[in-house]
Chain A
Amino acid sequence: MAVAPGWYLLLSAAVFCIGLFGVLVRRNALIFLMSVELMINAANINLVAFSLVYGNITGQTFVLFLTALAAAEVAVGVGIILVVNRNFDSIDITDAVTMRW
């Protein structure tokens, strides 16, 4: 009993919107990073779903790459957050604005 593709898309859109909401309203850099992860995973859900629907393995392969990418991104992101913390004594992303014009 296969699930209709529309449900996958709905789930994906929901996860993406949660991520977007987090990015827009939270100021804690770690939460911010997690929200970004949510958005990446929303994309992953789409890829896996379509891969299943079309019977094509390519989408699933891309998900593997994206997972690796997300891991790397977290490593870099956490590194940046550590430096921000060292310089601003907080990880509030609205504090680190000294590099604007």
Chain B
Amino acid sequence: MVGLTPLSAGFSLPFVPGIGGVEVTVLFPLVTFLLILAFGRYLPFKGAYLGIVSTGVGFLVAVATVIQLATGAGIRHETLHTLVAGVEGAGVTLTFGVLIDPLSALMLTIVGLISLLVHVFSLGYMNAEGEIDLPRYYAALSLFTFSMMAFVISDNLLMSFVFFELVGLCSYLLIGFWYRKPGPASAAKKAFLVTRFGDYFFLIGVVAVLGTFGTAQFAGTESFVTMAETALESGDASGINTFGFGAQTWFTVIGLLVLGGAVGKSAQFPLHTWLPDAMEGPTPVSALIHAATMVAAGVYLIARMYGFYALSPTALSVIALVGGFTAFFAATMALVKQELKQVLAYSTISQYGYMMLALGGGGYLAAVFHLTTHAIFKALLFLGAGAIIISMHHEENMWEMGGLKDELRTTYLAFLAGSLALAGIFPFAGFWSKDEVLYETLIHALGGGSPVLFVAYALGLLAVIMTAFYTFRMVLLTFHGEPRTDAAEDPHAVSLSMKVPLVVLGVLSVVAGLLNMAVLKSVLPKDALLLERWLNGETVGGEFAEGALTAEHYHHVLTSEYGAGYTAGYGGLGEGTLALVGGVVALVLAVIPALVAWRLYGGADPDPHMTNLGSLRTLLMNNYYQDEYQVWLARGVTLPVATLANKFDQGLLDGIVDGSGGVSLFAGGRFQRLQSGVVTTYVALLALGLLVLLLVFAVTGGWL
């Protein structure tokens, strides 16, 4: 009965009044991590069951939290530990605390669910395949879940940063799980270093926030978000230290610094290069990283402090442009990839680009919605890919597959549901969320926002076309046509532990869009937009509204004079109609390339049409030489600079230190010759010294 203790503790929780103690959700994976680390070898299935139980209980607690929040319990915002207490509003206050509000409760549920399913899936993917070192795998998975959950419930930026880094460490451990092979080892290093590069800016941002506001709290009247808003609204920035800049300029700088961390973790251009390489890790890990944890952390961070970003039109424009460009850029590369997981990797980058686009375009709701649906369908696609790879005896090249749909019925249906969601086909989850992303960007662009929003929107629309194409190309090449190899002829059966997560996620991919059917807002009653009501805090107490964390409040800041100054414009169509038109356009743009893909790759034995692309294909296959140019940056620029700095350090700085030591040693060596051991010499020296002293006195005293 391993894991009984967390189980019983977990079941007692929903009876705790209010939503106190929800943070224990986070502790289950932490305790599991320690247990597996210590006793993993002796646990059944090398710790898999313990992990399943603990993430399962964690998931249940998260669901209970959501239910409690939905039924009127207030949010929980409490400082648990004060590291450094500022005095009387001066100085810096550093705390650790929890913030359970609709956003974090939603994310907690997603993380719990995906983590649970990944654990279950791992039974089939890792244990059944006889992998070695499994305790290390499950321990890292638990630590990963813990870090992400703790990141999600952080109530201040510093704590977020700490767990942000821990998430990065866990991804390093898991991507490099098969560290004896050179590929995973170097991919893990790359993931760590590239995201660290972004985190460096995040760290400076944290320090800037603390230096400016003296606090890094997300919520409450004393939060830095509220302080910034008050300063801009009243035009009086006297309470805060803006280091001589204009308040809004300085907030933009801080926002962009923190954005650096999000760009690294959420794999936005130009720091996206680590993500495709991260496919070297075990496939369930890819599902966890790309759906719910590491990559989601960046977007979640921006959403968490969206009240701050809503104050700066410049920062929002940058986010929108980076997001839109990434969505487009990554989608083009996904068009020509041959490996199943590579297609999914670039689609992940592209989809997170959409979320950034939504955040920059003023669509907080849309971003959170897309984060939710994407977590579901991308986890599904990765787990589906994992099932395919296992059944194909670890073959990842889609040209070696084909015709799998009859043999792998369940996998096919689930994978298809995920693909339709990814491509944004009505009525699957992705359609609703992706459309809302585009819609929000469009109305704010039409409302006279910066022209950058139009560019970002256009890039987003282009990405819709490509997404549909590469998704269906992937599905057709994998499942349709005739089997192209012996392995595809006779694939492994997919075990039950792999089928269950696929089915759960498959069903969710179909229905998750019901959360917020904003496209149909003209025909639906207002109450039907569940996610909007949820994030507006309509179900929770008044404390939430005061905390300025509601989507409504963000919208208010976004459209205010002192904030970003966004206005919504509908191009003369009216809100509901424009939403409908946008939805139809996006659907058409998704269906046409899907049909083209069907035409090109739907036959019994499809041709590799991408060879017709010529040099463009070479460019795309090489990922626009992004890796090459980054390696060139490292070797050609950073290395010489570092060498120079090293020379300076070794030569000049160390030279001064070493030199003073050397001179002392040399001088000491010479002076020690005076110490002859002959007493007479000493006396002579003494007498001489006395004489000299007398002479000095004589001269200065005026006797001579």
Seen from chain A, the residues whose Cβ lies within 8 Å of a Cβ on chain B are: 20, 23-25, 27, 32, 93-94, 96-101
Q: Is the CB of A32 within 8 A of B684?
A: no
Q: Which residues of A contact B234 (CB under 8 A)?
A: none
Q: Is the CB of A27 within 8 A of B676?
A: no
Q: Is the CB of A99 within 8 A of B677?
A: yes
Q: Is the CB of B680 within 8 A of A97?
A: no
Q: Is the CB of B680 within 8 A of A24?
A: yes
Asked if B667 CB lies within 8 Å of chain A CBs, one says: no
Complex: chain A residue closest to B669, CB-CB: A101
Asked if B672 CB lies within 8 Å of chain A CBs, one says: yes
Of the A-B pairs whose beta carbons lie under 8 Å apart in the complex, a sample of 17, sorted by A's number, is A20-B683, A20-B687, A23-B680, A24-B683, A24-B684, A24-B687, A32-B679, A93-B679, A93-B680, A94-B678, A96-B677, A97-B677, A98-B677, A99-B677, A100-B675, A100-B677, A101-B675
Alpha-carbon gap, A101 to B672, bound state (A): 7
Q: Which residues of B contact A93 (CB under 8 A)?
A: 678-680
Alpha-carbon gap, A99 to B682, bound state (A): 14
Complex: chain A residue closest to B681, CB-CB: A94
Which residues 190-245 of B have a CB within 8 angstroms of A? none
Alpha-carbon gap, A97 to B684, bound state (A): 16
Which residues 656-695 of B have a CB within 8 angstroms of A? 672, 675-680, 683-684, 687
Q: Which residues of B contact A96 (CB under 8 A)?
A: 677
Q: How close is B691's CB to chain A, nearest CB, in angstroms?
A: 11
Q: Which residues of A contact B672 (CB under 8 A)?
A: 101
Q: How close is B572's CB to chain A, nearest CB, in angstroms?
A: 99
Complex: chain B residue closest to A101, CB-CB: B672
Q: Which residues of B contact A27 (CB under 8 A)?
A: 680
Q: How close is A22's CB to chain B, nearest CB, in angstroms?
A: 10
Q: Which residues of A contact B677 (CB under 8 A)?
A: 96-100
Alpha-carbon gap, A59 to B678, bound state (A): 34
New A-B pairs, 17, CB < 8 Å, besides A24-B684, A25-B680: A20-B683, A23-B683, A24-B683, A27-B680, A32-B679, A93-B678, A93-B679, A93-B680, A94-B680, A96-B677, A97-B677, A97-B678, A98-B677, A99-B677, A100-B676, A101-B672, A101-B675
Q: How close is B144's CB to chain A, nearest CB, in angstroms?
A: 63
Q: How close is A70's CB to chain B, nearest CB, in angstroms?
A: 18
Q: How close is B676's CB to chain A, nearest CB, in angstroms?
A: 6
Alpha-carbon gap, A99 to B679, bound state (A): 12
Q: How close is A45's CB to chain B, nearest CB, in angstroms?
A: 19
Alpha-carbon gap, A24 to B683, bound state (A): 7
Indicate with 1 or 0, residue by residue over B333-350, a CB within 8 angstroms of chain A CB atoms: 000000000000000000
Q: Which residues of A contact B679 (CB under 8 A)?
A: 32, 93
Indicate with 1 or 0, residue by residue over B498-510, a CB within 8 angstroms of chain A CB atoms: 0000000000000
Complex: chain B residue closest to A96, CB-CB: B677
Q: Which residues of B contact A20 (CB under 8 A)?
A: 683, 687
Q: How close is B366's CB to chain A, nearest CB, in angstroms?
A: 82
Q: Which residues of A contact B687 (CB under 8 A)?
A: 20, 24
Q: Which residues of B contact A24 (CB under 8 A)?
A: 680, 683-684, 687
Alpha-carbon gap, A24 to B688, bound state (A): 11
Alpha-carbon gap, A88 to B325, bound state (A): 93
Q: How close is A37's CB to chain B, nearest CB, in angstroms?
A: 15
* The 8 nearest A-B residue pairs measured at CB: A97-B677, A100-B677, A101-B672, A23-B683, A94-B678, A100-B675, A93-B679, A101-B675
Q: How close is B675's CB to chain A, nearest CB, in angstroms?
A: 5
Q: Which residues of B contact A98 (CB under 8 A)?
A: 677
Q: Which residues of B contact A100 (CB under 8 A)?
A: 675-677
Q: How close is B536's CB to chain A, nearest CB, in angstroms?
A: 85
Complex: chain B residue closest to A98, CB-CB: B677
Alpha-carbon gap, A81 to B687, bound state (A): 23
Q: Which residues of A contact B684 (CB under 8 A)?
A: 24
Alpha-carbon gap, A92 to B178, bound state (A): 80
Alpha-carbon gap, A24 to B680, bound state (A): 6
Q: Which residues of A contact B676 (CB under 8 A)?
A: 97, 100
Chain B CB within 10 Å — which of A32, A96, A97, A99 has the most?
Answer: A97
Chain B CB within 10 Å — which of A27, A94, A96, A98 has the most?
Answer: A94
Q: Which residues of B contact A23 (CB under 8 A)?
A: 680, 683
Complex: chain A residue closest to B675, CB-CB: A100
Alpha-carbon gap, A94 to B677, bound state (A): 8
Complex: chain B residue closest to A25, CB-CB: B680
Q: How close is A18's CB to chain B, nearest CB, in angstroms?
A: 13
Complex: chain A residue closest to B683, CB-CB: A23
Complex: chain B residue closest to A26, CB-CB: B680
Alpha-carbon gap, A99 to B677, bound state (A): 7
Q: How close is A57's CB to chain B, nearest CB, in angstroms?
A: 30
Alpha-carbon gap, A93 to B677, bound state (A): 9
Alpha-carbon gap, A68 to B582, bound state (A): 115
Q: How close is B686's CB to chain A, nearest CB, in angstroms?
A: 9
Q: Which residues of A contact B680 (CB under 8 A)?
A: 23-25, 27, 93-94
Q: How close is B672's CB to chain A, nearest CB, in angstroms?
A: 5
Q: How close is B677's CB to chain A, nearest CB, in angstroms?
A: 3
Q: How close is B668's CB to chain A, nearest CB, in angstroms?
A: 10
Q: How close is B508's CB to chain A, nearest CB, in angstroms?
A: 84
Alpha-carbon gap, A70 to B641, bound state (A): 72
Alpha-carbon gap, A99 to B678, bound state (A): 10
Alpha-carbon gap, A15 to B687, bound state (A): 15
Indicate with 1 or 0, residue by residue over B477-520, a CB within 8 angstroms of chain A CB atoms: 00000000000000000000000000000000000000000000
Q: Which residues of B contact A25 (CB under 8 A)?
A: 680
Alpha-carbon gap, A91 to B683, bound state (A): 18
Q: How close is B367's CB to chain A, nearest CB, in angstroms?
A: 77
Alpha-carbon gap, A90 to B687, bound state (A): 26
Q: How close is A30's CB to chain B, nearest CB, in angstroms?
A: 13
Alpha-carbon gap, A23 to B680, bound state (A): 7
Q: Which residues of B contact A101 (CB under 8 A)?
A: 672, 675
Q: How close is B673's CB to chain A, nearest CB, in angstroms?
A: 8
Complex: chain A residue closest to B679, CB-CB: A93
Alpha-carbon gap, A99 to B687, bound state (A): 23
Complex: chain B residue closest to A27, CB-CB: B680
Alpha-carbon gap, A99 to B683, bound state (A): 17
Alpha-carbon gap, A24 to B676, bound state (A): 15
Q: How close is A96's CB to chain B, nearest CB, in angstroms?
A: 7
Q: How close is A95's CB to chain B, nearest CB, in angstroms?
A: 9
Alpha-carbon gap, A20 to B691, bound state (A): 13
Q: How close is B690's CB to chain A, nearest CB, in angstroms?
A: 9
Alpha-carbon gap, A97 to B677, bound state (A): 4
Q: How close is B692's CB to chain A, nearest CB, in angstroms?
A: 15
Chain A CB within 10 Å — which of B676, B678, B687 has the most?
Answer: B678
Q: Which residues of B contact A94 (CB under 8 A)?
A: 678, 680
Which residues 368-407 of B have a CB within 8 angstroms of A? none
Q: How close is A41's CB to chain B, nearest CB, in angstroms?
A: 17
Alpha-carbon gap, A97 to B673, bound state (A): 13
Alpha-carbon gap, A100 to B678, bound state (A): 9
Alpha-carbon gap, A23 to B678, bound state (A): 12
Which residues 424-455 of B have a CB within 8 angstroms of A? none
Complex: chain B residue closest to A21, CB-CB: B687
Q: Which residues of B contact A32 (CB under 8 A)?
A: 679
Alpha-carbon gap, A96 to B684, bound state (A): 17
Q: Which residues of A contact B675 (CB under 8 A)?
A: 100-101
Alpha-carbon gap, A25 to B681, bound state (A): 10
